């Protein structure tokens, strides 16, 4: 296997008191200021939709889906416009933590933490976005 295939590029960000990561290839844009339009019948973690290049994109508040905590004082809240299959979703986060590259050896499986696939050596939790955002009763409960 080539060294490129073993490397994992992660877009890392703060939510609560922990650093989480998603694949950089998912990240389309980082939006500094987003005012979503609320929609009816949305689960509590969905703030609403915004228009990005003609398509309505839901904004999901990750702070309502992940454990609470206090982010560092320097963190600036942002929205990550992320790809999910053929869709896009906006993820509300507490602050960016940069783009990091890990080797497979630095990553270990997370065990039974919902929505988290693996944890890196420096405690960046790699998220399973599809699992985290799936429409399930558990999400609705956790959302409140």
**Which residues of the chain form contacts with other proteins (CB under 8 A)?**
8, 22-23, 25-26, 31, 33-37, 39-43, 46, 48-58, 60, 83-89, 104, 107-111, 117-118, 126-128, 130-131, 133-135, 139
**φ/ψ of residue 123, rounded to 5:** 65, 35
Q: How far is the CB of 84 from other proteins (least distance, A)?
A: 5
Q: Which two tokens stand for residue 99?
A: 């783009």
Length of the chain: 144
Nearer to other proteins, 74 or 123 (CB): 123
Q: Minimum distance between the CB of residue 136 and other proteins, rounded to whole angstroms?
A: 8
Side-chain half-sphere exposure of 4, counting CA atoms within 13 A: 0
Rounded least distance, CB 72 to other proteins, Å: 24
Torsion sign over Cα 26, 98, 101, 46: negative
């Amino acid at each position: 296997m080539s060294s490129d295939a073993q490397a994992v590029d992660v877009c890392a960000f703060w939510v609560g008191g922990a650093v989480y990561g998603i694949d950089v290839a998912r990240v389309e844009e980082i939006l500094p200021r987003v005012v979503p339009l609320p929609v009816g019948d949305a689960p509590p973690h969905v703030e609403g939709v915004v228009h990005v290049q003609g398509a309505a994109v839901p904004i999901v508040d990750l702070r309502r889906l992940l454990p609470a905590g206090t982010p560092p004082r320097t963190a600036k809240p942002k929205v990550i416009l992320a790809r999910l299959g053929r869709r896009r979703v906006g993820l509300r986060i507490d602050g960016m933590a940069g783009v990091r590259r890990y080797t497979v050896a630095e990553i270990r499986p997370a065990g039974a933490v919902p929505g988290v696939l693996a944890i890196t050596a420096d405690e960046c939790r790699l998220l399973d976005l599809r699992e985290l955002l799936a429409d399930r009763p558990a999400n609705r409960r956790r959302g409140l």
